[in-house]
Amino acid sequence: MSHFTPWTALAGGALIGSAALLCWLLLGRIAGISGILAGAAQAQGPERNWRLAFLAGLVLAPLAFALAGGTLPVPDATRNPAMLVVAGLLVGFGTRMGSGCTSGHGICGLARLSRRSLAATGVFMASAVATVFVTRHLLGL
């Protein structure tokens, strides 16, 4: 991370919060990406349609931003592709084990004052801090 941009971070957080609120108010559903993705694979009819539209928005919104002249960040995935695969599998496993992802627990669950989401978000954050400490300070990656 080269620099912190508080205004764009604030705008992004407001957009994520607004999307989560609209999903809750209009559909009565939690905007947790893992649950939306899993449901899109299993649901039928209108239930599936809103999930597919939500997922399409995740892909199309950055493309629209770029077409409007915005600059998208370029991820650095050149170091170790095998580590990326292992990390993705661990995230997927943790998501299933924790009954949701960071968006579901950290944004929607905390907003609903869910104790389960508070515990899950604490574990997510502690795991992230430990991972950064080990990879950067102990392993020098």
pLDDT per residue of the chain (141 residues) written in tens, 0 to 9: 567 788 988 998 898 889 889 999 999 888 888 889 888 989 888 889 999 999 999 999 999 999 999 888 887 777 788 888 888 888 888 888 888 888 788 888 888 899 999 999 999 899 889 989 998 999 887
Number of neighbouring beta carbons within 10 Å of residue 88: 10
Phi/psi of residue 134, nearest 5 degrees: -65, -50
pLDDT for 49 equals 93
pLDDT for 107 equals 87
pLDDT for 93 equals 85
Residue 60 near residue 68, CB atoms below 8 Å: no
pLDDT for 25 equals 92
